[in-house]
Each structure stands twice: as structure tokens, then as C-alpha cells.
Structure 1
């Protein structure tokens, strides 16, 4: 059905936290987890866009944009109800989000199904991320790098390190971590914080993210510390260029589930230093 079809002309509105259950219903409709806890973060820290179902039942489509100022915004959770798939609804929503962004560069993680549409809208792939999941076995030890629970006194150092490595200020996301995550760890050597990572609850798993570290051994130490603190399966999305971390995780029972394409629009690549950025807080927020 072409973009000029009646379905593709449905009005788009801003979503609020009152739409959380409708967003979770739409996730479930497309075979995703409901992820209500994550939706709560995205709808309060970002801007949600939705198209109401013409039948009056829930949402026909939705998406969330997390802004990092004029330098970047991340698009996530682009969902279209199964009954409206391939009818121009998703394209309409994405075009609206791109227009709303104006001159702000955009990023997103794309599945194989969504990637062709994003390419048509000017997004290009910069790398891929591998989603991994499993019970950590501790078969291959992590390096003996000191890791401890984060405290309130660490916040400013964590924010400075994150700004340096992420490349943009995401204070509005990082300051939510102490309340959002079940576990927040920092790596510290010679009095300097060299990395940090969080594990937050998502359905029956703990998602590790963000994972920021000065090198692979530090990332491994943070990962192992979070694994020791959790009795759930772990899940995370690791940049495929971090081959050593992926290999070590798989040696410890963390299996590959899928890969996604990390794409950008109006930028040659993401800002910051990918060599020290091992996993996002969530792929939905960049």
C-alpha cells in the first residue's frame, strides 16, 4: 500500500507515561517481550510518538526518541501492530520522527526487517551489535581489576568519564541509573574510576548496560562483578568489534541470540570512542 493510503495518513501524537501499557501491548503483539520496566524509563527520559489504532484499541504504531542535545538523538522501539504491517504506517511514523529531529543527527539499532526502510530514509550502517544472553559460568576468570559498588560520591567522576567516552552529555540518563539499576559498579585503579557498568531488570533477565571501560580487561572485570551479583540470566548488546570481550563472554556461557545494525543519519559515525564503549544502556536509547 503506498504512503498516500488512508492508514499512512493517520495522525501522530506524543506519548506519555499513561501509554506505557499500550506500548507494552504493542511489543507483545510483534512477538517482543513486554518490557514494561524499560518502557517506563524510555517514556520519562525520552519523547514517545504514537499512532492510535483506528479501531479504538491501543496503538497502531509507536517509537521513542532519546535526545542528547543538538549533537545526537537515538530512535528506538519502532513498532507497528501486525495487522497494519507493510501498509505505510511505519514509514509515516519514521518520516515524522526524522522531520521532528530537524538538523539533529540520528542513530538507531536496526533489525534485518527494518534496515531497508532506514536506508531509504538516509541511515547508513557503521557497525553491528551482537545480542548475547545466558547464565554466566565463571569458567574463564576475569582479570583481577578492582571493582566495587558505586556510591553517590562517584557520580561526578562517572559523568565525566561517560561524557568523554560517549562523546555527548547524557546526564539525564546516567543519573537515573542508581534508581533504575539493581546493581551499579565502578572499576577503580590508583584512585581513578576507569569504567562503570549497570545491571537492570528486564523480564527474567538482568541487562548489562551501559558498559563503559578504558580497556577490555576492565570491561571483563565489570561484567564478572555484575554476574556475581545476579542470580538471573544476563543479557547485553556488545559491539562486534569487541571480539575479545565477546569471545570471553561466550567462554562463560553467554550465547549469541541475534545481531543488529548500528546506523546513523547525518553523521559519518557516532561521536565518542567506540573502543571504550562496549555496550549501550539499551539499544532503544543508543
Structure 2
């Protein structure tokens, strides 16, 4: 029996049962397995994959996380675009991305692109609209901490968190935010006069805790939230800060977080992302926008 051509292999929807195969694919490309993150993405979003015709797991995968209306999403984020090393440079990545664009229809798309991936996305019509800077390290806050109250989030805070998040993000992402108490090791809010003015989570990823989402009224509130999360872990912190937040980035670097990488924020079908970027400091994960 002849092996079918790569263009004939079907792209199917993934389920939580595919989590080990997704982690294997990450490992195949030299990425960490990130099973915890894959678990969130496959439950809050929709995974797509191509099975190896030889029965060796997946040869490609990506995840789409949709926001807004269930029937007609207002925005969708593409992430975790991976192709097995043995199938690299054979058009699999392009085919998956073309499928993502076609299936989206009129729904605007966004993604975070590495320098390696950006040329393909540009060829498909994505445009760079911003940049996120990844910083990692053990946090030792530089200078005095802001006089802003932070505390662990409670179940009673969820309504206020969702209201704030929708206002800042620009679209409803309740299906993601309601998973944060189980997904994060820490979920904290900043409060002023009884009003929640920011919130942030820290979730485990390999030897680090990733800070995200990070939504705050201003830079001082963002600092207070990061510092409170850093005080609650012995692990290094990692976060992807919107490069427009130069003051927060400077403080993070003075506090021991080193620059590791840059990702371009790209969009398709929309000139800029919705919401209020001045209060949106870092995403939950770049894979979910």
C-alpha cells in the first residue's frame, strides 16, 4: 500500500486524549513538554492535528482559542503551531495555517510569532502590530514596593475579575478565566477602596512560574501584583510583557528578570487588538493571545 501524500492527510480535531501526543510533538521539536499548558488549551480551545501515516503520533498540531460569541467568535488566537522534525520544511506548517485561516472565515485572528515563524505568517496575510518581550529570573524587587494592597483571589471575586477582564481584553473570555483557579498555583487581585483594580496568576511551567494574565490599572499596580506572586514561590518567574510597557520592563530587569526572547504580535483581518492595552500587561500565555 502506498503512503498517502502529505496534502491528502486529514486535519482532525484533537481531544484531551491527544494530550500525550501533543506533548510528544513539543518534545520532538526541542520544546518542553508543557503538558499543563496543553491541557488548558485543549479544554478551553480547539486543537487540530495531522496523524502520522506510520502510526507515530502527530506530525503537526495547532490550537485555536476563540473569544466572544460561541456561534460567531469576535476574535481567535492561534498558538502551539508545531511540525514534527522528520516532516519539517515539507509544507505541513503552511497547510495547517491555511486551514486555520480558511476555517476562521471572517473572524479576526491573532498570534505571537517567533522570528522563525514570522515570514510564513506574513505570506498568509498576517501583519505585525506589536511585540512582546519574554523575561525570566528570580525576582528581587528593585526599590520600595508600591503601597497597593494585593491578596489571594476568592470565589466571590470572580464576577469582578470577569468584568474587569472583559473591559480590558475587549471580548468575553469567561471560558478561559473561570479555569484559572484550577490552572494557576497563585491567583491574586489588587484592591483599592474595596474595588478590584487588577489581577494576575502564576502557573507552573517546567522549573518556572509564568505570570499571566497580568491586568492592572497602572504600572505600579502591575509591579505590586508581580512582586506578590514572586514572594509566593521559590521558582524563577517568567512573563511576556507587552513591549509598550517600557517602565514595567525596566523595573522587571532591574529586579532580576533577564530578557530571553521577543515575539511579534500579529493579526489577520483586524488592524489592532481590541480592548485597552494600557491595562493589559501580559497574556495568560502567548498561545492563547
Residue 193 (structure 1) aligned with residue 192 (structure 2): no
Q: Aligned with 1:72: secondary structure?
A: strand
Task: Decide which of 257, 268, 273 is 1:254's aligned counterpart.
Answer: 257
Q: Deviations over 1:92-140 (max 9, x none)?
A: 1111111111111000000111111111111101100001111112233
Q: Distance in 2 between matches of 1:255 and 1:189?
A: 31
Deviation at 1:144, TM superposition (A): 1.3
Residue 163 (structure 1) aligned with residue 166 (structure 2): yes
Q: Aligned with 2:101: secondary structure?
A: helix
Alignment of 1:1-286 (within 5 A): 6-69=5-68, 70-286=73-289
User: What's the RMSD between the two structures over aligned residues?
Assistant: 1.0
Gaps of 5+ in 2: none
TM-score by length of 2: 0.96
Gaps of 5+ in 1: none
Deviation at 1:141, TM superposition (A): 3.2
Retained in 1: the 8 A contact 2:142–2:251?
no
* Number of residue pairs the alignment of both structures matches: 282
Q: Aligned with 2:56: secondary structure?
A: coil
TM-score by length of 1: 0.97
Retained in 1: the 8 A contact 2:75–2:108?
yes
Q: Distance in 2 between matches of 1:195 and 1:225?
A: 12
